[in-house]
Structure 1
Amino acid sequence: MRADETEAARPTAAATLERRFNLDRRRPAALQVYEDLRDRILTLDLQPAESLSRPALAAYYTVSQMPVRDAFLKLEAEGLVDVFPQSKTLVARIDVRQARETQFLRTALELEIVSAIAGRGGRDAVVSRARRLLEGQERARDEADLALFADLDRQFHATLYEALDQGALWDLVQARSGHIDRLRKLDLPTPGKIARVLDEHGAILAALEAGDGGAATAAVRTHLSGTLATVDRIAAAHPHYF
């Protein structure tokens, strides 16, 4: 279904929800609605071109329509929803161009980050933290828990940023990563993908342990290029997402 089709052509997301949402009255409602909708878009629980009804979602989240509107505006700024004023709001299709832009930014940052970590003392602590996350990913693989595997993957990379007190840069990358994160979600079940991720994380850590900045940057470049290198295959297998 294309974005110019009517909202009534597909049931709103809230109409198909099976789980309850517990609103935390101590936190801003709009932020919680945004976080939950964003998570459901990135995990593909909400499909591209799916209609999002503001009244139905307000009822589901037990809020007024204003927090839902604010969440829509924030998601629209990230390119994750298409808002048609006075008409409808749809989950956006995957934008490969934006995914490539984000990957360019992230690669540039992480090359500098691992180079800096490799060249400084006291890197054992960050390597140790990242290795524990890698071990957690191995357990998630053994348990076939792809959601946990993906979450630990994000934590692995976040740890590298935090080691240089660059958590704000990680937040910036994450705010722009909605399209490429959905690509990764589609790519992760591909045979051999999880094994490659584990091997590449291991190569990054081995290079950091050795203090070899050149090897660390080469490992990061290889690792971050994987999903977009296969985007044509992903799009061919899942054309309705694009």
Structure 2
Amino acid sequence: MDTTGQPSAADRAYDHVRHGILSCRYADNELLAEGSIAAETGVSRTPVREALLRLEAEGMIRLLPKRGALVLPVTAQEWRDVVSTRLLVEAHCTRSVIESGRGPAVARALEVPLADLRAAAQALDVPAYVTADRTFHATIVAAEGNLILIRLYGSLRDRQLRMGAANLAGPDGELDAVRMRTTVADHEAIAAAIAHEDGALAEHLTREHLRHADRALRGVRA
């Protein structure tokens, strides 16, 4: 960012490409050309190159000399690893906030991401949906207060967003609106269980939500 508070040229290029990957506008294994990105964003190639270096460091693309940037797919192993980590962290944190008596307060905090989820589902806005989805679960993790788990969960952010977008796609790669509405209901049920301080149910629903996501994605990739 510059001193005026406006995004720099590199920031604009970075946001443009990152949004394109997270929204599946750029497909897995698609080759992105610096010149095309520069034209799309109205910036020169130098900030585009800087943006692509940032995205490569985050594991979203691989730079190919004199060819461009390859969009890296989420591998099956990466998906399994992330789901396993999320299961451990989210199940623990969900039960912990309830056992500590913070269930009603956390449920109130979840009202904002829930409203964002509903609005995104209504608009069929995948980037907004996966961001709200991630915020919903991150709110629960943050409420537990374990700084190590918070940092660990934060490190999964972009992987979660990419996988969340893939999870909402049907076998043809297009948005599955039914799947989107179903996941809204999953989140509503989890929030209700937290509000009623039912730790066993909230943990069960969290585990089932992630297992459903795992099965849905494996079905897409089958």
Q: TM-score when scaled to structure 1?
A: 0.72
**Counterpart among 194, 202, 207 of residue 216 in structure 1:** 202
Does the 8 Å contact 2:130/2:161 carry over to 1? no
Please list, as runs of the form range in 1=range in 2, the aligned pairs for 1:1-242 lying within 5 A after superposition: 26-141=6-121, 143-147=122-126, 148-165=128-145, 168-177=151-160, 179-187=162-170, 189-190=175-176, 192-236=178-222
Structure 1: segments with no counterpart, 5+ residues: 1-23, 237-242
CA distance in 1, matches of 2:168, 2:183: 13
CA distance in 1, matches of 2:179, 2:71: 27
Root-mean-square deviation (CA), in Å?
2.9
Q: Which runs of 4+ in 1 moved over 6 A?
A: none
Per-residue CA deviation, residues 149-183 of structure 1 (Å, 9 max, x unaligned), is: 44432332232233235554443121333542342
Number of residue pairs matched by the alignment: 212
Q: How far off is 1:135 after superposition?
A: 4.3
Structure 2: segments with no counterpart, 5+ residues: none
% identical equivalent positions: 26
Does the 8 Å contact 1:204/1:220 carry over to 2? yes
CA distance in 1, matches of 2:120, 2:35: 38
Q: TM-score when scaled to structure 2?
A: 0.78
Q: How far off is 1:139 after superposition?
A: 4.9
CA distance in 1, matches of 2:117, 2:158: 23
Larger gyration radius, structure 1 or structure 2: 1
Query: Is the alpha carbon distance of 1:182 and 1:33 closer, same or farther for their aligned partners in structure 2, counting shifts above 3 Å?
Result: same
Query: Is the alpha carbon distance of 1:229 and 1:210 closer, same or farther for their aligned partners in structure 2, counting shifts above 3 Å?
Result: same
